Structure 1
Amino acid sequence: MDEPLGWLDETARARRQAGLRRTITPRDVVEPLVDLASNDYLGLARDPRVVEGAVAATRTWGAGSTGSRLVTGSTRLHADLEEDLADLVGAPAALVFSSGYTANLGAVTALSGRGAVVVSDVAAHASLVDAARLSRARVVVSRCSRPADVDAVLAEADERRRLVVTDGVDSVDGGLAPLAELHAVCRARGAILLVDDAHGLGVRGPGGAGLVSEAGLAGEPDVVTTATLSKSLGSQGGVVLGSAAVVAHLVDAARSFIFDTGLAPGCAGAALTALGVLRAEPDRVAALHAAAASIAASARSAAPTLGVPEPTAAMVPVVLGEPELAVAARDACAAAGLRAGCFRPPSVPEGTSRLRLTARADLSGDDLALVDRVLHDVLGPIVGGSRSSGAVPGVASWRPSF
């Protein structure tokens, strides 16, 4: 008889052969690497004010929230955070969850269910995909970048409850969803538009209010926004923003809210403080975009044939092709002092493994100069760049797939 878990070894071997094995690498407190892999877009995760906001909240309320939000897990901090988040993005109401993942699970499942149809973008984040699968609704995968495709799906739908879900800013390449056009389709077809603005909050819109606000959809009754507190706000947690009726329904029906322990007070305190910093220092948003433009310019100069796009958000994708090449390039960057994100299937389609370089508002001129040098040294040998300093260990034997 086969070992019950013998298939794990076979699966691990297949992943290793495909270049898709993943490892956990703990960070040290102090590291020499310039970080272009995190989602700390505004540089607030270690801001002393934000850290002190977490510490003060922990001292006041304790290390944990002690229970679900409906029992003992809601504090005055949670209510204040919800009010401030709603005010920033222009939504009537907000509901804070323990993570962006649980926020998406709660919102999608509670707003759909049996007898509903969910139209999910083909590139939707895993949390939206999982939520659609758990919803028990009929799920249709479409391209929300083409509102006409969504319109065609909704035109043929028989279900009364209709939900269209998409990322506002694509988490891999930074592409922007055509939210105004999507909303027009949804309104004409009686559908709710749910936008995951995790990578737009603090990055797009007036004062970092997000892409939904930028598109002029803030406060629309048929628009629901989800976001995370772990990116631009440097903390942890998630939020759903929408009408008072939507929030009241989630309190009654969102299982990932009802049955989950509430967000820790320290995280709520940190996010609340970060919101105050964002309001007081809106130039951080412009600094983030300037850093992203600089990183993209360096990548284009180092590897002109890779077609690195002009960034519209914090991330700069450098598509290299096969997963082994992306891993080798990531490791070569780290050896030269630069931490780069590495995306491989299933996070991206086959043949499009890449480095994802994420900008931060607090990158210095020296940091960006190092980024420029490392990208030329690493990408140059791969594509025959003129400024390369020679072969890069682990990279020279690979050929990119264009």
Structure 2
Amino acid sequence: MSRPSLTERISLTKKAREEKQRARRRRVVSKRDGMRYEVDGESLLCFCSNDYLGLAQHFTVSSAFQDAAARLGTGSGASHLVCGHFSEHDALEREVAEWLGYPSALLFSSGYQANLAVAQAFLGEGDVSIQDRLNHASLIDAARLAGASLRRYPHVDAEGALRQLRGNPEGAAMVVTDGVFSMEGDVAPVRALALIARVQHATFVVDDAHGVGILGTDGRGTVAAAGLGLNEVPLQVVTLGKALGGEGALVLGDQAHIEHLKQNARPYIYTTASAPASAAASRVALQLARRESWRRERVFANLARLRQGLLGAGFELPGSDSAIQSIPCGSDEIALAMSAALEAQGIWVSAIRPPTVPENSARLRVTLSALHSDADIDSLIAALRWSRDAVGTGYRAE
């Protein structure tokens, strides 16, 4: 028997992808001004960016990046444990930990790396990772990297998590959930999950990528909004690339957990540290997010306006009180046609299809920013109504 041909595998995979209309393409952004993007030479009003607070282009944030780059260079030059850990990295760790009420924090180059690190450093063969079925892909991959058993419970079903824990009593256990689910926009039942984890002697981990900066008092996220902290959620993952408009992520915990990560997490040990200028920019973005509450207020005003308009127009919307609003389309074909029809009207909303979401649940994922005006929201509502009606009668954009 001959070995499988990777070239043949690539060809078959491509064919299957194209038959299902699931080929993805990168769009080239050449310029942006607020939520107005120049994409492949076309000006579009963007409703698919995770820059919820509008900080990615803030003058003060950009200036901090430029000043730090002038002093410290554009790259760190090494991993954190060699010579790549700069004062800006160190200050960012301290400031985020203080903001969220945790003793310590560890900075990673991306949220994906942070999630891989948590599972790999703490779990191994014979252990179990109990996860929401709609968790982010990085959390699922993390359990696999660790060699732990992955057990998934129905979406936001705390009792399902309890059943999985009771059914897997051997070895160390982690209960892991998104805080705000990236495709649904709904919030995990963190209080119930925290209680279950404590009773079952499991470690509770919350990846709050889409909650921190938006939800709770001072924008401190899902965990704080539920009245929880270190005692209930020993490990929390916070990304900088969403509401804070930058890049990278931090894992928060007590000093013992964070030191263990520092000494054992392969995604931390063997990765070049992010640019110190990026950390400097994130520190300023954090200060703005904490000080300028109007940004969160604006997001929620946009949310209320959008939901009222769409529900009044007969759209069925899942329950979501976050900056992420999911508009179900069902089939890949309809989602693609709706996205194309929106673009024909100058609106950029991506069609989300499997495997990013489960089969038969393709949707438009609308994200809201503090930079969107009332007029922008009204334009989106009108464009969605027109696109729905046009696609329903067979319209397909050229």
Which residue of 2 is the match for residue 197 of structure 1? 208
**Is 2:88–2:277's contact at 8 Å kept on the other side of the alignment?**
no
Tell me how far 1:148 sits from its aligned partner.
1.5
For structure 2, the residue ranges without an aligned partner over 5 or more in a row are 33-37
Q: Residue 382 and residue 248 in structure 1: after superposition, are their counterparts in 2 closer, same or farther (change >3 A)? A: same
Aligned to 1:342: 351
1:361 maps to 370
Supply the distance in 2 between the matched residues of 1:144 and 1:309 (Cα, whole angstroms): 13
- What's the CA shift string for 1:187-236, capped at 9, x where partnerless? 01100001110000111111110101111222226521112110001000
| CA pair 4-248 structure 1, distance change in 2 beyond 3 A | closer
Rate the CA distance shift 1:212–1:309 in 2: closer, same or farther, 3 A: same
Question: Quick one: which amino acid aligns to residue 14 of structure 1?
Answer: A
Alignment partner, residue 240 of structure 1: 251
- Rounded to whole Å, the distance in 2 between the matches of 1:375 and 1:221 is 41
Paired residue type of 2:287: G
Contact 1:90 1:213 in 2 (8 A): no
- What is the CA deviation profile of residues 165-196 of structure 1, one whole-angstrom value per residue up to 9, with x for unaligned ones? 11011101111111011000000110000111
Question: 1:393: which partner in 2?
Answer: 396
Paired position in structure 1 for 2:23: 21
Unaligned runs of 5+ in 1: 385-390, 396-402
Is this contact kept in 1: 2:128–2:172, CA < 8 A? Answer: yes
Deviation at 1:293, TM superposition (A): 2.2
Q: Is the Cα contact below 8 Å between 2:203 and 2:234 reproduced in 1?
A: yes
Query: Which residue of 2 is the match for residue 400 of structure 1?
Result: none
Q: Provide the C-alpha distance between the structure 2 equivalents of 1:338 and 1:150, rounded to a whole number of angstroms.
A: 39
Worse-matched range after superposition: 212-221 or 197-206: 212-221
Identify the residue that residue 316 of structure 1 maps to in structure 2. Answer: 325
Q: Which AA in structure 2 matches 1:350?
A: E
Letter in structure 2 aligned against 1:361: A
Cα distance in 1 between the residues matched to 2:181 and 2:79: 31
Percent identical residues: 35
Alignment-mate amino acid for residue 358 of structure 2:
P
Query: In the alignment, is the contact (CA less than 8 A) between 2:344 and 2:397 conserved in 1?
Result: no
CA shift in 2, pair 1:156/1:330, >3 Å: same
Trace 1:121-160 onto structure 2 (pairs within 5 A). Answer: 121-143=132-154, 145-160=156-171
Distance 1:27 1:178, change over 3 A: same
- Residue 283 (structure 1) aligns with: 294
Q: What's the CA shift for 1:144? A: 5.8
Between the two proteins, the alignment pairs up a number of residues equal to 387
Structure 2 CA distance, aligned partners of 1:86 and 1:222? Answer: 14
Contact (CA 8 Å) 2:187, 2:320: kept in 1 or not?
no
Q: 1:381, 1:392 within 8 Å by CA — same for their partners in 2?
A: yes
Does the 8 Å contact 2:198/2:232 carry over to 1? Answer: no
1:56 is the counterpart of 2:67: yes
Q: Which residue of 1 aligns with 2:83?
A: 72
> Residue type matched to 1:106 in 2?
A
For 1:227 and 1:163, how far apart are their aligned partners in 2? 18
Identify if the C-alpha distance between structure 1 residues 25 and 157 changes in structure 2 by more than 3 Å, giving closer, same or farther: same
Task: Name the counterpart of 2:35.
Answer: none
1:317 is paired with a residue whose SS is strand
Mean Cα deviation higher: 121-130 or 310-319 = 310-319
Determine whether 1:297 maps to 2:308. yes
8 Å contact kept, 2:130–2:161: yes
In 1, the alpha carbon distance for the partners of 2:389 and 2:95 equals 46
Q: Measure, in 2, the Cα distance between the counterparts of 1:136 and 1:72.
A: 31
CA distance in 2: counterparts of 1:61 and 1:23, whole angstroms:
35
Do residues 380 (structure 1) and 383 (structure 2) align?
no
One-letter amino acid matched to 2:217: P
Measure, in 2, the Cα distance between the counterparts of 1:227 and 1:105: 13
1:176 to 187, 199, 205: 187
Per-residue CA deviation, residues 291-350 of structure 1 (Å, 9 max, x unaligned), is 122222333334x1x411353111111101111211111111112111102210001111
| Pair 1:371 & 2:391 matched | no
